[in-house]
Amino acid sequence: MAKKKKMVNVSGKRKEAVARASVKPGTGVIRINGKLLSTIQPDMARLMITEPLLLADKASKQYDFKINVKGGGVMGQASAVRQVIAKGLVEYDKSLKQKFLDYDRSLLVADSRRTEPHKPSRSKSGPRRHKQRSKR
């Protein structure tokens, strides 16, 4: 007989945002930086965060999530939180993994793209910007 995991720690990233979560069996309470999921604004971010919960259906109501997220912007943080929720659910229920990958690979796999570093002598204007020249 398989032993039930008591608590799992998972992390997720998107751009500059990093989310860390503690997942444990419970009643389906999700707290993000101390706030309940239902109070998260803007609505688009909240809808994005709930995607893995909707895909998992009944399994999502069996676990409590305590999530801390910092860095980046609102949508980057929402993507990191969404990834953490999906990873946490997969830790307890391996059958959800293929479902999440079929729906959206970024639910389980972090996006490695980052902004290009600024180059010397023009660091305030961007990495590839050059001084405008007049042809005549």
What pLDDT does 2 receive? 55
For 29-38, 78-87, 109-118, which range has the lowest pLDDT when averaged over its residues? 109-118
The predicted model gives 7-34 an average pLDDT of 93
pTM of the full structure: 0.84
Compute the distance between CA of residue 22 and CA of residue 24 in angstroms, rounded to an integer: 7
**Nearest partner of 77 among 33, 123, 38, judged by Cα:** 33
The predicted model gives 2-11 an average pLDDT of 80
Angle at 127 between CA 121 and CA 131, to 5 degrees: 55
Compute the distance between CA of residue 80 and CA of residue 121 in angstroms, rounded to an integer: 34
The predicted model gives 55-73 an average pLDDT of 91
Q: Where are the domains of the chain?
A: 8-105
| DSSP-based three-state secondary structure for 134 | coil
Compute the distance between CA of residue 115 and CA of residue 94 in angstroms, rounded to an integer: 33
The CATH class that applies to domain 8-105 reads: alpha beta
Q: What is the DSSP string of 50-96?
A: HHHHHHHGGGGGGEEEEEEEESS-HHHHHHHHHHHHHHHHHHH-TTH
What pLDDT does 126 receive? 84
User: Two tokens at 109?
Assistant: 């796999």
